[in-house]
Amino acid sequence: MSTCLTPKVVNFNEKLDLISEYWQPKVIAQMNDYQFKIVKILGDFVMHTHASTDETFIVLEGKLRIDFKDDSVCINAGEMYVVPAKTAHKPYAENEVKLLLIEPCGLTNTGDEGGTRTAPNDIWI
């Protein structure tokens, strides 16, 4: 008879209830070199790129728009979108949006842009 480890279940809603600020992703799990982060967003972010990696946005609640230089995409709750590496993008939320992000460890949320919206990395919740 084999023994099973009791996995740590992560409840998105419970974790999101712990977040009070916008644009500050928090790590909820890690798989190999990738982190799963939750974040609440509202309003405009900064146009930025990630030179060496894709970035995955999964909308848990709300409607997210991601603007590109010449186009945009809207992502509703229950949908996801992968922004390819080297693609300039700017998330926007007219109303509060709750997201799950999948990113490599150490990825800076503002990419190559920097600035006041840059969040600290590896903050677990």
Whichever domain contains 72, its CATH number is 2.60.120.10
Asked whether residue 15 is domain-assigned, the answer is no
Average pLDDT of the segment spanning 88-95: 98
Asked whether residue 90 is domain-assigned, the answer is yes
Asked whether residue 26 is domain-assigned, the answer is no
Asked whether residue 6 is domain-assigned, the answer is no
Q: Which phi-psi region, left, alpha or beta, contains residue 23 (left: φ > 0; alpha: ψ -120 to 50)?
A: left
What domain range is 53 assigned to?
Answer: 33-125
- Distance between CA 96 and CA 73 in Å, rounded? 17
Asked whether residue 19 is domain-assigned, the answer is no
Domain count within the chain: 1
Task: Examine the pLDDT at 2 and tell me if it is beyond 70.
Answer: no
Average pLDDT of the segment spanning 78-82: 98
Contacts (Cβ under 8 Å, ≥6 apart) of 1: none
**pTM, two decimal places:** 0.91
Q: Count how many Cα atoms sit within 13 Å of the Cα of residue 86 in the half-sphere of its side chain.
A: 1
Asked whether residue 11 is domain-assigned, the answer is no
Q: What is the pLDDT of residues 39-69, one digit of tens each?
A: 999 999 999 999 999 999 999 999 999 999 9
pLDDT at residue 8, as a whole number: 84
